[in-house]
Chain A
Amino acid sequence: MSENAKMPPLPTGTFGERAVTWSRKNLFDGWFNTLLTLGAIAFIIWLIPPIFNWAVVNATLTPTIEGCAEVTGACWGFVNANLRLILFGTYPYDEQWRPVLAMIVLVGIICGSLAAVKFPGLRKWIIPMWVIGVPVIGILMWGGVFGLTYVQNSFWGGLPLTMILSAIGVIFAFPLGLLLALGRQSNMPAIKTVSVVYIEVIRGVPLITVLFMASVMFPLFLPAGVTIDKLLRAQIGIILFTAAYLAEVFRGGLQAVPRGQFEAADSLSLSYWQSMRLIILPQALRLVIPPTVNSFISMFKDTTLVVIIGLFDFLGTVKLALRSDPAWTKYYVEGYAFAAAIFFLICFSMAKYSAYLEKELRKGERR
């Protein structure tokens, strides 16, 4: 931004002249930058055409192994032929409209909640939406009522599983993280100690260990015959893990709120919860939007680790499809590229939304 301020008025002249001036100024500004520019151009020329040829020109969408054998480029036919396996995993084939519907409901609730920033009228609907929507998703996925056949959740997989794990993870990890952050700031020694120990222990181990403990060690400590659902164990593991990280993010936000704000709240004789809700948290949370979304993005990607405990998230179903027929196995680059594209799409949307949210909430400060 400061660069812009220093810039002289735009030079007049033909488009060509302006282009030359612009590139002199921005691309060939001294020998070092010239070298960098030329290097970058060479790199792009070296990199882009082969990728483009591979991914588009020489690629095929024909969903057969024979069709793929004929082309030299990417075999998108692998994705095409196995799309439903990749998207829904081992969910019963004839019932796959249910996860589709569940995803639509989930995306609807998420979008509805996110849009509340722009449309304040939606705000009072956020909680009802989730309270109704989550059971609806559960009914669609599990079934067993209203004439839907029961589908054990070991059959769930693919994108719905990834999205459910992430969405439920965010919903529960957020308040838990907030409580832990407040607990760590608390004056009460017991609460403070519990929070600190929890945060430090969970942060001290990798998620893969938490999941492994939840799926392999935990059942061993239960009495014989008692089992707790594997998906539930993984979900709880993810929530506990993310909450510990979020707690530290929120603590950063709390510490950044000036002392005077706390004192002002006290002087208004607000109770602890009132001052938090009305004065401190709105400021603290706004400050930490980027790292919070960062945590969410990393949690979204971390859900792929559930594959080690035998659940097939979206990346897991890509692997499942690669192994559905040995002839497909060699097209793993296409499979992973497809998964990467979907993950990028979702993570990039989250990042963009967080940037937008920051801008919206800062409106009061600009002016």
Chain B
Amino acid sequence: MKIKTILAAGAMTVAAVAAHNAQAGAVLDGIKAKGFVQCGVNTGLPGVAAANAEGKWEGQDVDFCRGLAAAILGDSNKVQYTPLTAAARFTALQSGEIDVLARNTTATLTRDAKLGLTFLGINYYDGQGFLVPTALGVSSATELDGATVCVEPGTTTELNLADYFRAKGMSFEPVVIENINETTAAFFAGRCDVYTTDASGLASIRNTMAPNPDDYMILPEIISKEPLGPLVAQGDDQLADIGRWVLNAMIEAEELGVTMANVDDMKANSTNPGVQRLLGVSPGMGEALGLDEAWAYNIIKQVGNYGESYDATIKKMLGLERGLNALWTDGGLMYAWPVR
């Protein structure tokens, strides 16, 4: 992908310049002045960010944007969405077209360091897997030697696939189709033995596109790590702090059992010091972030805690269980930094 190299080079040059120009807090001040958060999202991925039948954006990434607006402006509806393609997403952030990017973006070293961006944390742990018809009779990805594999081109998926098969000393025949609808149609028509993409995508394809979901199974191997999270441009550390703590507050709320429904009750009656700190009953947290003390209360009241958001978006739309995204106490990876 030549164009990607050029873009990356251009992006880096400008990132260096832009980082120099930006003043601390400039983006945050901009958000407060204009009265809304400009949030870059996916152009349409159910459960993550997609427009509903009324044209309103919904999804887990959208919930992060709403949480950020609730924390900074006190109103989760004060968000404007900019749908972005994968190629345009970083430029939009660097050029200041958007304030924050929540577009199922994999956190990697080069993106974090070289592109002049700051990852705020992880709101979804994903990884690449394989979907096969049960009739194929395989139970592990190690048995896939010589298989034909349906894959979308130009993605890390394609590269991971090649890496995995090479590392295992196996061969495969890729069936590369540009469009996701056609790729899945080709797979269900039997043109390839295996379909590979992120595990979340496999589950949703199996549940919604398969003629009979029971005829297909997801193999246990997950061959790549895809930690997805929101990010901001470097240069506004205060905004980065707020974004990071919006994520943490939502997870912390779930850990503490604070929900959209009981948040008022918890605020009034809870004697748990953790809850009191989170909800601003014992002040200091909001002040430290430069926000109102009700910042986390607003997030939970208007958007919900991490688990509630997950259930209303990813689980509702894709039917995916929490898995890696469960709280650490339930065997997952979600672990909030202490709000204190």
Contact = CB atoms under 8 A, between A and B. Distances in A.
A81 B85 contact: no
B317 interface: yes
A216 B50 contact: no
Given A310-B88, A324-B46, A227 B318 contact: no
B208 to A, nearest CB: 4
A154 B21 contact: no
Interface string B37-81: 000000111110011111111000000000000000000000011
A323 B53 contact: no
Interface stretch (B6-14, B135-143, B323-331): B6-14
Interface stretch (B93-101, B159-167, B241-249, B277-285): B93-101
Interface in B1-50: 3, 7, 10-11, 13-14, 17-18, 21-22, 26, 43-47, 50
Given A319-B44, A330-B208, A324 B96 contact: no
A89 interface: yes
A323 B7 CA distance: 28
Which secondary structure dominates chain A's binding surface?
helix
A215 B88 contact: yes
Which secondary structure dominates chain B's binding surface?
mixed
A230 B83 CA distance: 11
A241 interface: no
A307 B179 CA distance: 14
B91 A90 contact: no
Given A92-B55, A220-B14, A326-B207, A227 B97 contact: yes
A222 interface: yes
B199 to A, nearest CB: 15
Interface string A198-226: 00000000000000100111011111111
Contacts of B207: 326
A197 interface: no
Contacts of B10: 217, 220
A223 B92 CA distance: 13
Given A154-B82, A223-B21, A310-B88, A230 B97 contact: yes
Q: How large is the interface on B (under 10, 10 to 19, 20 to 34, 35 or more residues)?
A: 35 or more
B54 A323 contact: no
B83 to A, nearest CB: 4
B238 interface: no
Contacts of A283: none
A314 interface: no
Contacts of B209: 329-330
A325 B46 contact: yes
A224 B95 CA distance: 6
A323 B85 contact: no
Most buried by A among B47, B55, B85, B207: B55
Nearest to A217: B10
Given A323-B44, A325-B317, A326-B204, A222 B95 contact: yes
Contacts of A319: 44
A310 B84 contact: yes
A361 B115 CA distance: 58
16 contacts: A85-B54, A93-B56, A154-B81, A219-B95, A224-B18, A227-B95, A230-B82, A309-B85, A309-B88, A312-B43, A320-B43, A321-B53, A322-B44, A326-B207, A326-B317, A326-B318
Q: Which 7 A-B pairs have the closest CB atoms?
A: A219-B95, A323-B44, A326-B208, A224-B21, A90-B55, A93-B54, A220-B14
Given A90-B57, A155-B81, A323-B50, 20 more contacts: A81-B53, A85-B51, A89-B55, A90-B55, A90-B81, A93-B54, A154-B81, A212-B87, A216-B7, A216-B87, A219-B95, A220-B10, A222-B95, A224-B21, A309-B88, A310-B82, A310-B83, A310-B84, A320-B50, A329-B209
